[in-house]
Structure 1
């Protein structure tokens, strides 16, 4: 019996990246390869505030999700857990925040 590796958001995207949106916010962008990938990433029953809150251990209420179908892009922003360059900041550029989102398995259709 062969186990199959689940498809992740990264498999459907050109790029998934994260960056600072000022010293107090993180922004992540999902640039999907095509409309089918975008449809999955933009599906509110799959990728929503609750999912992001669980992945990043942040409050659901502070999460903003922007779906841009004309570009096949989903943008997610939320307050940083600690401010940029503070004593407990372990990723000053927020360059690694995208990883949990990138490896998120997509639902089987």
Structure 2
């Protein structure tokens, strides 16, 4: 980790992915408190473009990206790489798709 940077895991109490139906998956990053959430939001690091890059998809495949102030959370929904339970699909519940988010570093 670079000096004056914090990893997303130090700033959140929940980082998860979950099923959002047979064609999409949702990513959630829920921050420890409002102050941390606002600082991360203001940094401009976590964007739709970053999510697309982390998941190696076009921005159009990130169908929603939102700062959810009421929950101190950032949420994104992606088109699943394969339809749920289709041939070759490897994570039916999408519960292991959050791993690329763990590499996010925030200036602190």
Tell me, yes or no, whether TM beats 0.5: yes
Q: 1:86 to 1:76 in 2, by over 3 A?
A: same
What residue is the counterpart of 2:19 in the other structure?
20
Residues 1:98 and 2:98 are matched in the alignment: yes
Cα RMSD (Å): 2.1
Deviation at 1:11, TM superposition (A): 1.1
Deviation at 1:82, TM superposition (A): 0.7
Deviations 1:11-31 (A, max 9, x none): 100111100100100101111
Q: 1:15 to 1:49 in 2, by over 3 A?
A: same
TM-score, normalization: structure 2? 0.85
- Is there any run of 5+ residues in structure 2 with no aligned partner, and where? none
- Is there any run of 5+ residues in structure 1 with no aligned partner, and where? none
Deviation at 1:34, TM superposition (A): 0.9
More strand by share: 2
State the number of aligned residues. Answer: 106
Deviation at 1:53, TM superposition (A): 0.8
Deviation at 1:35, TM superposition (A): 1.7
C-alpha separation in 1, matches of 2:77 and 2:85: 18
Residues 1:76 and 2:61 are matched in the alignment: no
What residue is the counterpart of 1:53 in the other structure?
52
List, as ranges, runs of 4+ consecutive aligned residues in structure 1 with deviation greater than 3 Å: none
CA contact (8 A) 1:17 1:28 kept: yes
